[in-house]
Structure 1
Amino acid sequence: MNIEKILNGISYKNPYNEPLDHIDILGITDDSREVQEGFMFIAVNGEKIDGHQYIDEAIQNGASVVVGERPEPLEKSVYLSVEQSKSVLGIIAKNFYDTTNNKQQIIGITGTNGKTTTSYMLKAALEAQGYQCGVVGTIQNIVNGQAFKTINTTPNPLKLHQLLHKSEDDVMIVEVSSHALKQDRVKGVIFDVAIFTNLEKEHLDYHATMEDYFETKYQLFKQLKKNGLAIVNRDNSWGEIVYRRLKEQSYVLKTISTESDASILLNIEQSTIQFSGGKAIPFELKMPGEHNRLNAAMTLLVCEHFRLNREKSMDVLRHFASLPGRFESIHFPGNKRIAIDYAHTTKGIIYCLKAARECNAKRVIHVFGFRGNRDESKRADMLINSAIYSDQYILTLDDLNEQTEEEMIQVLYDYHEKYGHSQGKIIPDRTLAIKEAIEAADEGDIVLVTGKGHESYNQAFQLGTNSDRETAEKIKQAVKDMTV
């Protein structure tokens, strides 16, 4: 592609007045190791790595053009200077992959909790009525029916636009994290549908204030096309602010709530759903929890927008099964079970503990921990609410994130002493904590393990397993072997 097309919409300087009209770019990347002959290399000054240090390597690998923030004369390549490399990645990617001309509908979902479950509910409901759907998100990326591993909830803009370009799907569903919005990872993407699930205390180690966290999330709606569909959960003070801001703008605005006037009104106690202007009808889900009913309601609003058969959409959601690490249940001999969930915020934990009660648990034993070098402001609330809603809790290690085990174990003891109660205990080794909880469970009890969900462990534990699910399965097999 001609370089002038790639640079369309970008403010740049050509400090050495290099002729550009003859240059065709064969590929774009911000990783010098991926550079091939005829590529454009964008040197990004990131949080941990400064791409400017790898310009020489990129040129050796064949870069014909380098885009960066600090002009320097290059013998074998053209250097173009921009104010901030990171902010132009999305525009370069959009232009190179021509994603503005893609035919698929793009749905963006943001919020503290519920992005992943809503994504897969949408995928199931839309595909049941003839749409092929791709997903970009926390568990994996799915494009053209093929699944790929993912590192971040939302990939960097070069990867995201490449995925959108490759996609022959009718719909692409994109989980949009606050980090992605803050770091311009979705820059250049125009959304047909934007969904706000909720907002609560999270990532304040990154955003510093809830106001900054909120404004970052709100950026998604600034990339919603004119007359696009905006869906907002009003059962949240931040959602109410989004609603008030959007109702005066040129969007199709739909809402869900258990309390306020809304496009879909949910009655949690009676398990009913009421579309605007209609009657309350039964709506029970296979997946337990108020949060999943809210996720399903947002899904139904998208289905209505796509003019799908309402009853069929509702039936798909009624039978929607669990996702990896989303209240994922493993049943044990003796009529007890473990539920594994990714919940790592106060509200997420409360939802899961209440969901366990919905499953008629006699007792709920909660195993969880705190991530090292992450938002400390939510830790006390997490423990306080675990103590309220569970019958017993076991504090254990989560990801250390460069803190030492000794440091995090001391954190567990400090919080347990200050906010815990006599029914709680500390078992630092995560696998042994799960084992202890299962052994302590009686008939009809549920062991709820939160924090890691589908993720693999980042450190070694005594049972030698790599995830909460693996740990549970190993313990289950040991129990079976003992009863044979």
Structure 2
Amino acid sequence: MILDGSALRDVLGVEVPEVQVSAVTNDSRAVSPGSAYVAIKGFTTDGARFVPQALEQGATLIVADHPIDGAPTAVVPDTRAAMARLAVAVNGDPSKDLTVYGITGTNGKTTSSYVLHGILSSAYGAAKTGLLSTAEIIVGTERRPAVRTTGEAPLVQGTLARMRDEGVQYVVLETSSHGIALQRVAGTHYAAALFTNLSRDHLDFHPTMEDYYLTKRRLFEWTDGPKLANSDDPYGARLADEVSGTLRFGTTTAADYQAVAIEQTSAGTDFVLRTPTMELPLHMPLLGDYNVLNVTGAAAIALETGMDPDILQRAVADIPQVPGRFERVPNDKGFEVIVDYAHTDVGLAAVLDVARAVTEGRVIVVYGAAGRRDPAKRPKMGAVATQKADIGIITTDDSYDESPEAIAAEVKAGAPDHEVILDRREAIERALATAKSGDLVLIAGKGHERVQHLPDGDIDFHDATVAAELLSERG
């Protein structure tokens, strides 16, 4: 919708030139005629540098935290908050017409998002459901890769608006701490919220674990509808104590929605969901205790928002494969090849536990650690791999502008006996060549991602595709 000067003043709460705005962006390359360009001072550059380009491409308003000579400018105290408000306004406040389920946590939020999206799609039809996640953006039956866990506010609100306009009613929004702290989801109306767990991650962005937790907690403070927290996790238990109306899910007796009688089978996992009013037997095609928690949380949200238990049973049994989350790479070599996004010590430990439980032979893991991330977890990754795998190969993850050799050395400090092969393709090839019948090869760290960020630039790289190619070359 088009905002005139009066509407813009209402949205931003500051003086605004008499202009009209029909779109908003903080990317000068994406400016189109009638756009508001928000000059955000980022981590590596200042958006004010690109104001001339934005004006040349037709921007009618510049939003900045200081006056800009020669440009129609609205000066605001917080450019990110202003961008979020503008994104909501130009898209007609789309989330008020949708049922938005927010999912946050350190590990499991993408899987939980896919699980809940799958349940909703099975129950209400794919055309009526949408997903914004780390791996994909799904609008009805259309899918495309995501750029980051939670996109910037114009992408979030624009996608929600498109979903609304195309008849989607139920949306799962994977909500990261960055998305909350950087105002990417500000102004979104959440109908329900789910918290999976909290462990050491993103301490390059959050100064402390307490700050990380409090940021996540804000999602529950924004949500008026059902709120579910994993009470098996200390931070989840704390969240349930601190935010009124929060229900607990998990495997302990403290849970309002408790998973009991858990049984792993070759076809998946069976368990009973004990709710405040019933006991509901469930079968899911996923493996692992952590997936029991993911499905329990998603099922609890579905029941709390009114889903019929019989429909839920059928939907859980039909949950699809989650890209890059214990994803099998089909082959006829007699051993399993699994790709998983596990990129923290806690996540890697959980996936290796599942691998051990379903493997008669050896567990071989290819893993590393990312650059620009908390370096304290690097030796912990090595220690976990040493403890839980039979063979480990340390390789390069997304090193960005850090030295891959230096990162690998920090990981190897926790895994002195593990081989280092910096080239990721060569490391995967070595693991596959080492595997014998009955073994399992786990390729951890990047999961669904299709780009590897290296000091010399980005390259196309998708673990499952590379593994399939190498398996094919082996004849």
Same fold (TM over 0.5): yes
1:182 equivalenced with 2:181 (yes/no): yes
Aligned-pair distance for 1:191?
Answer: 0.5
Aligned-pair distance for 1:279?
Answer: 6.5
Alignment partners' CA distance in 1, 2:324 and 2:331: 17
Residues 1:78 and 1:9: Cα distance change in structure 2 (over 3 Å): same
Residues 1:268 and 1:209: Cα distance change in structure 2 (over 3 Å): farther
Alignment partners' CA distance in 2, 1:274 and 1:36: 51
Superposition pairs of residues 69-218 of structure 1, within 5 angstroms: 69-74=65-70, 78-99=72-93, 102-131=96-125, 132-167=128-163, 168-218=167-217
Residue among 52, 55, 79 paired with 1:59: 55
Equivalent residues of 1:136, 1:142 under 8 A apart: yes
Equivalent residues of 2:113, 2:172 under 8 A apart: yes
Equivalent residues of 1:339, 1:449 under 8 A apart: yes
Aligned-pair distance for 1:465?
Answer: 7.5
Gaps of 5+ in 1: none
Name the aligned partner's letter for residue 449 of structure 2.
E
Gaps of 5+ in 2: 264-269
Equivalent residue number for residue 32 of structure 1: 28
Equivalent residues of 2:432, 2:441 under 8 A apart: yes
SS at match of 1:12: coil
Alignment partners' CA distance in 2, 1:279 and 1:58: 58
Equivalent residues of 1:108, 1:195 under 8 A apart: yes
SS at match of 2:293: helix
Alignment partners' CA distance in 2, 1:239 and 1:180: 19
Equivalent residue number for residue 304 of structure 2: 305
1:229 equivalenced with 2:226 (yes/no): yes
Equivalent residues of 2:282, 2:316 under 8 A apart: no
Alignment partners' CA distance in 2, 1:163 and 1:459: 26
Q: Which range is displaced more, 383-392 or 50-59? A: 50-59
Aligned-pair distance for 1:328?
Answer: 0.8
Aligned-pair distance for 1:281?
Answer: 5.7
Alignment partners' CA distance in 1, 2:5 and 2:143: 32
Residues 1:434 and 1:58: Cα distance change in structure 2 (over 3 Å): closer
Superposition pairs of residues 312-391 of structure 1, within 5 angstroms: 312-391=311-390
Aligned-pair distance for 1:123?
Answer: 1.6
Equivalent residue number for residue 275 of structure 2: 276
Name the aligned partner's letter for residue 259 of structure 2.
L
Equivalent residues of 1:204, 1:377 under 8 A apart: no
Aligned-pair distance for 1:429?
Answer: 1.8
CA RMSD of aligned residues (A): 2.3
Equivalent residue number for residue 479 of structure 1: 474
Residue among 419, 423, 442 paired with 1:429: 423
Equivalent residues of 2:369, 2:381 under 8 A apart: no
Equivalent residues of 2:99, 2:191 under 8 A apart: yes
Superimposed CA distance per residue, residues 215-259 of structure 1 (whole angstroms, 9 cap, x where no aligned partner): 1111212321x3x1111111111111110011xx3x4x3221112
Alignment partners' CA distance in 2, 1:456 and 1:36: 29
Equivalent residues of 2:113, 2:174 under 8 A apart: yes
1:468 equivalenced with 2:456 (yes/no): no
Alignment partners' CA distance in 2, 1:202 and 1:49: 24
Aligned-pair distance for 1:472?
Answer: 1.1
Name the aligned partner's letter for residue 456 of structure 1.
R
Superimposed CA distance per residue, residues 393-438 of structure 1 (whole angstroms, 9 cap, x where no aligned partner): 111111121123xxx324424542x42254x322222212212212
Equivalent residue number for residue 447 of structure 1: 441
Alignment partners' CA distance in 2, 1:268 and 1:205: 40
Equivalent residues of 2:283, 2:313 under 8 A apart: no
Alignment partners' CA distance in 2, 1:83 and 1:45: 12
Q: Which range is displaced more, 148-157 or 50-59? A: 50-59
Aligned-pair distance for 1:466?
Answer: 2.5
Equivalent residues of 1:7, 1:95 under 8 A apart: no
SS at match of 1:458: strand
Alignment partners' CA distance in 2, 1:372 and 1:440: 28
SS at match of 1:315: helix
Equivalent residues of 1:45, 1:86 under 8 A apart: no
Q: Which range is displaced more, 91-100 or 154-163? A: 91-100
SS at match of 2:40: coil
Q: Which runs of 4+ in 1 moved over 4 A?
A: 268-271, 277-282
Name the aligned partner's letter for residue 258 of structure 2.
L
SS at match of 1:191: coil
- Aligned residues with identical type, % of pairs: 27
Alignment partners' CA distance in 1, 2:39 and 2:411: 43
Aligned-pair distance for 1:196?
Answer: 0.7
Residue among 11, 14, 17 paired with 2:13: 11
SS at match of 2:188: coil
What number of residue pairs does the alignment pair up? 459
Q: Which range is displaced more, 44-53 or 209-218? A: 44-53
Alignment partners' CA distance in 2, 1:122 and 1:27: 31
Aligned-pair distance for 1:80?
Answer: 1.6
Equivalent residue number for residue 257 of structure 1: 250
Equivalent residues of 2:381, 2:414 under 8 A apart: no
Report which of the two structures shows the higher radius of gyration computed on alpha carbons: 1
Q: Which range is displaced more, 328-337 or 432-441? A: 328-337
SS at match of 1:204: coil
Name the aligned partner's letter for residue 244 of structure 1.
D
